[in-house]
DNA sequence: TTGTTTACTAAACAGTGTTCAGTAAGTTTG
DNA sequence: CAAACTTACTGAACACTGTTTAGTAAACAA
């Protein structure tokens, strides 16, 4: 009897339905319009039903954050074919920023909002770990190619990620509002370029 | 007749009372416990009264964010007496991180949360501008002292700020949860050190 | 066919920011 | 001093939020 299997499938189907509705609302109207009631309306179920498939809103946001990582990893795929390790690194940084500017709300969910992270209690952040390891690998390639001096790739990767993440976070969270609006993008680009040049020379 | 002056004083007094209560709740219980109703309870007024002194919650949060900057600038004061410009820069970075770790909620309000920034419509972010100029000045000193090569101090300052802000934001928003808890502080410190060494060599 | 499990929901709880009509005290004017 | 006006304040409501619980109807197992 395949009943339990069918039920399992239906359950998975329902989780996808909920998540899909959440994603739709999220992309169309931004984070603040994604309420349990709005999701419930969208799929024509009662709000309480959602709690039968996700423990709470944070868990749902974590699942959405996972979809964000999937999308990001897909977009990063072409870069991995580059042969020059430093160029690869720069391309990754540029893509990180581009992804953030093109999908600000999704990026926010992935790297800034605390809500989705509240679900991880003891176990670690898998999506982050995979993405970080990808970066670390490229840093190692740069070290092997003598672009960077010999050092701990973990620390170097952390430093690079922080550097790139810095503007992105400041920009998205409106912390470049001391500059006139027209200049902001330019300053960000210049600062990114300068960061690349600096680690090229100094790391 | 000094009545309008007295009323003005009383108004200012009331704004301080409200802000003080908000600050108290904020420091004692963190951001999520700071609701208009809680503030009203604290000062023994009705919630509606608060709206006679602050346009909305964002304006109140902006005022709180200003207090944060005051506190931060105070803590930065001793550093400005240092004579070596590069040492001064490193000390500023270290203090930025220390401030964030010691006052995570306040730092969040100052540099991560969007709510307080929603009040600025066309006018720019004064507190940010002042702090950034302070940094830019020190960067200029480093250029003058030939520690850094000749370049646009604005872009260089932006790059440095982003670099430092990066870990801080990632750390506070739980994006170092791929590392075991005991290692996080160490990795952050190492990455900070590496960032300092790198800009020393490459900027 | 009876008994049990599963899937779902209406309604409530406890909170949130914000607005508005109404009141009471303070101030000015005749 | 009394009447008119102004200011300061509040109770109650509005429209939301996440979440829980008791109860129902359908699906399944015995």
The mean predicted confidence, pLDDT, of chain B is 95
pLDDT of residue A3: 67
The mean predicted confidence, pLDDT, of chain A is 95
Its CATH architecture, for the domain B1-54, is Orthogonal Bundle (1.10)
Residue range A10-59, pLDDT digits in tens: 899 999 999 999 999 999 899 999 999 999 999 999 999 999 999 999 99
Residue B122 pLDDT grade (very low, low, confident, very high; cuts 50, 70, 90): confident
Geometric angle at alpha carbon B161, from B157 and B165, rounded to 5°: 175
The answer to whether domain B65-202 has CATH 1.10.357.10 is: yes
Does A149 have pLDDT greater than 70?
yes
pLDDT of residue A1: 53
Does A4 have pLDDT greater than 80?
no
Continuous segment of H or E residues that includes residue B99: helix B85-102
Query: Averaged over B15-30, what is the pLDDT?
Result: 95
pLDDT of residue B3: 67
Query: Averaged over B104-124, what is the pLDDT?
Result: 93
Taking the CA of residue A177 and the C1' sugar atom of nucleotide C23, their distance in angstroms comes to: 44
Query: Averaged over B110-129, what is the pLDDT?
Result: 93
Nearest alpha-carbon partner for B113 in B172, B37, B159, B33: B172
d(CA B19, CA B96): 24
Question: Tokens 């969910």 — which residue?
Answer: A109
**CA neighbours closer than 13 Å in the CB half-sphere of residue B154:** 12
With contact defined as beta carbons under 8 Å apart, do A169 and A104 qualify? Answer: no
User: Which three-class secondary structure string do you get for A110-178?
Assistant: HHCCCHHHHHCCCCCCHHHHHHHHHHHHHHHHHHHCCCCCCCCHHHHHHHHHHHHHHHHHHHHCCCCCC
Residue A98 pLDDT grade (very low, low, confident, very high; cuts 50, 70, 90): very high
Nearest alpha-carbon partner for A135 in A102, A94, A88, A182: A88
Query: Averaged over B190-196, what is the pLDDT?
Result: 97
Chain A residues in contact with B177 (beta carbon < 8 A): 117, 120, 124-125, 128
Domain range annotation of chain A:
1-54, 65-202
d(CA B21, CA B154): 38
B1 touches strand C (CB under 7 A): yes
Query: Averaged over B107-135, what is the pLDDT?
Result: 94
d(CA A146, CA A139): 11
Query: Averaged over A74-83, what is the pLDDT?
Result: 95
Chain B residues in contact with A129 (beta carbon < 8 A): 178
% of chain A exceeding 90 in pLDDT: 92
Geometric angle at alpha carbon B40, from B37 and B42, rounded to 5°: 110
d(CA A167, CA A95): 13
pLDDT of residue A86: 96
For residue B14, give the nucleotide whose C1' atom is nearest its CA: D8
Q: A175 and B113 in contact by Cβ < 8 A?
A: no
Longest dimension (CA), chain A: 67
The runs of H, that is alpha helices, within B103-180 are: 104-111, 126-144, 153-172
Does B1 have pLDDT greater than 70?
no
Phi, psi (5° rounding) for residue A125?
A: -85, 90
Q: A156 and B197 in contact by Cβ < 8 A?
A: no
Residue B100 pLDDT grade (very low, low, confident, very high; cuts 50, 70, 90): very high
pLDDT of residue B2: 66
């Amino acid at each position: 009897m395949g009943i339990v299997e069918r039920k399992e499938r239906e359950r998975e189907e329902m989780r996808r339905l909920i998540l899909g509705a959440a994603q739709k609302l999220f992309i169309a109207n931004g984070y603040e319009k994604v309420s349990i009631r709005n999701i419930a309306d969208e799929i024509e179920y009662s709000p309480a039903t959602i709690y039968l498939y996700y423990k709470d809103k944070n868990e749902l946001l974590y699942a959405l954050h996972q979809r964000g990582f999937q999308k990001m990893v897909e977009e990063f795929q072409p870069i991995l074919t580059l042969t020059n390790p430093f160029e690869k690194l720069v391309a990754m940084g540029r893509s990180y920023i581009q992804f953030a500017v093109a999908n600000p709300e999704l990026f926010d969910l992935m790297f800034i909002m605390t809500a989705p992270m509240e679900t991880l209690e003891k176990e670690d952040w898998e999506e982050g770990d995979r993405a970080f390891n990808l970066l670390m690998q490229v840093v190692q390639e740069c070290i092997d190619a003598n672009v960077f001096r010999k050092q701990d790739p973990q620390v170097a990767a952390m430093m690079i990620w922080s550097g790139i993440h810095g503007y992105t976070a400041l920009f998205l969270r409106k912390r470049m509002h001391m500059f006139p609006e027209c200049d902001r993008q330019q300053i960000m680009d210049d600062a990114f370029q300068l960061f690349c040049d600096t680690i090229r020379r100094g790391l």
